[in-house]
């Protein structure tokens, strides 16, 4: 079997919708989302938090709109940020209308929760008039009472039925620009629900393990559940729900996609866990190098290995590699070939400058290729 064959992930075929400037579903890249935790009425704090998430690469940001003051603030927030904003609406249909008119790119709303068919029709009209999509967001912690009584507890079948019931309401109002999520804090429940939903419809799926926990525990739980879904081709947009700053959710999301070869952003740093064979302090070096190249968005793979046991083999597979050697002298590799030697004290800054130079070269080549393609298309 070729290396390529076992790395391929066949994504589930889904219809495509638009969230502002971001396409979700179909053949679009899997997008990474987060949600602000500031008061939406505090425009300055909310914009600052979104800007921080933008620096981490976020594609879509959601903000809570529980009251009229928040939807009023939303209008200003949308003007000051560069990514599509999703308005989080729960029960009041007027908030959905206001958010759509304020410039929200998407409404997170469950149509069955906002009242009569007339109210749903008003929200749908506002969404259509303002080019706004929707997300049906089903959560195990807030399932409809009727479903809980019938199924006895939150279960995959109940989550899927709830999602499809809400979807049917929008379909009956001739609205299909929506994505769906069926989240749970229990990994097994969430994965089974998404698997069932993926088989039952072709709408794009927003995947997440809700209320996953703090940075470490939440990352582990999310990686297990979302990793399984993504590996099996399920998921068009992802949010990693952590009790941490939104930008951390974004970074973890991109690392997941990078690990599965689904989307690349920034430096993929391969490093050893360190052992008694190491010829330099691997842990401190990697920590410092990650900070040094955090601003790089160009995809590339770099290896930092403490000794010659696995170092040369890893270096052969990376653009830039470092293998620890004796006498405070280490080998630097370029494109798998030995290139030059450096000393301990030079490692972080030296590699950082090499990575920046290679990123600039790759960006220039990419820009030239795009310009050539555009010129050819114009002929």
- Is 65 annotated in a binding site? The answer is no
pLDDT in tens, 304-353: 999 998 889 998 899 999 999 988 899 999 999 999 999 888 899 999 99
Quote the CA–CA distance of 238 and 347 in Å, as a whole number.
Answer: 35
Nearest to 126 by CA among 105, 97, 99: 97
**267-367, which class in CATH?**
alpha beta
Q: Does domain 10-259 have CATH number 2.30.42.10?
A: no
- The answer to the question of whether 155 is labelled as a binding residue is no
Count helices and strands (H / E) in the chain: 13, 15
Q: pLDDT per residue over 32-84, tens digit each?
A: 999 999 999 999 999 999 999 999 999 999 999 999 999 999 999 999 999 99
Residue 280: partners with Cβ closer than 8 Å, 6 or more residues away: 306, 324, 330, 344, 347
Contact between 243 and 219 (Cβ < 8 Å): no
Flag whether 132 is marked binding. Answer: no
CA distance 190 to 155: 9
185-217 confidence digits (pLDDT tens)? 999 999 999 999 999 999 999 999 999 999 999
Tell me how far apart the alpha carbons of residues 256 and 251 are, in angstroms, rounded to a whole number. 9
Kindly state the DSSP code that residue 148 receives in the 8-state scheme. Answer: H
Q: Distance between CA 287 and CA 342 in Å, rounded?
A: 19
Query: Is 275 part of any known ligand binding site?
Result: yes
Q: Given this chain, do its domains 10-259 and 267-367 carry the same CATH topology?
A: no
Q: Where are the domains positioned within the chain?
A: 10-259, 267-367
pTM for this prediction: 0.90
- Rounded-to-integer distance, Cα 286 and Cα 304, Å: 7
């Amino acid at each position: 079997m070729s290396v390529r064959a076992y790395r391929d992930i066949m994504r589930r075929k889904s219809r495509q919708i638009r969230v502002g400037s971001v396409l979700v579903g179909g053949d679009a890249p899997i997008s990474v989302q987060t949600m602000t935790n500031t008061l939406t009425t505090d425009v300055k704090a909310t914009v600052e938090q979104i800007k921080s998430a933008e620096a981490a690469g976020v594609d879509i940001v959601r903000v809570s709109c529980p009251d009229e003051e928040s939807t009023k603030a939303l209008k200003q927030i949308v003007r000051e940020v560069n990514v599509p904003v999703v308005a989080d609406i729960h029960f009041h249909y007027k908030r959905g209308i206001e958010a759509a008119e304020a410039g929200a790119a998407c409404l997170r709303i469950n149509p069955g929760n906002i009242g009569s068919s007339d109210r749903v029709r008003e929200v749908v009209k506002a969404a259509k008039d303002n080019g706004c999509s929707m997300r049906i967001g089903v959560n195990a912690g807030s399932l409809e009472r009727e479903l809980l009584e019938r199924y006895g507890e939150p279960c995959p079948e109940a989550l899927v039925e709830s999602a499809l019931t809400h979807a049917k309401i929008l379909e009956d109002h001739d609205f299909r620009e929506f994505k769906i999520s069926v989240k749970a804090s229990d990994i097994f429940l969430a994965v089974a629900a998404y698997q069932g939903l993926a088989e039952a419809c072709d709408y794009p799926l927003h995947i997440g393990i809700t209320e996953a926990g703090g940075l470490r525990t939440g990352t582990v739980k999310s990686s297990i559940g979302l990793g399984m879904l993504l590996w099996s081709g399920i998921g068009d947009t992802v949010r990693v729900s952590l009790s941490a700053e939104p930008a951390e959710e974004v970074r973890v999301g991109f690392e997941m996609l990078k690990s599965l070869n689904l989307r690349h952003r920034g430096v993929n740093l391969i490093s050893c866990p360190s052992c008694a064979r190491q010829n330099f302090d691997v842990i401190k070096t990697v920590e410092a190098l990650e900070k040094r190249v955090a601003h790089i968005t160009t995809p590339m793979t770099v290896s930092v290995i403490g000794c010659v046991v696995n170092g040369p083999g890893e270096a052969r597979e990376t653009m830039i590699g470092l293998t620890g050697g004796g006498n405070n002298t280490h080998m630097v590799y370029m494109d798998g070939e030995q290139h030059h030697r450096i000393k301990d004290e030079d490692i972080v800054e030296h590699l950082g400058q090499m990575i920046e130079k290679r990123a600039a070269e790759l960006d220039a080549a990419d820009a030239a290729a795009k310009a050539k393609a555009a010129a050819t298309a114009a002929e």
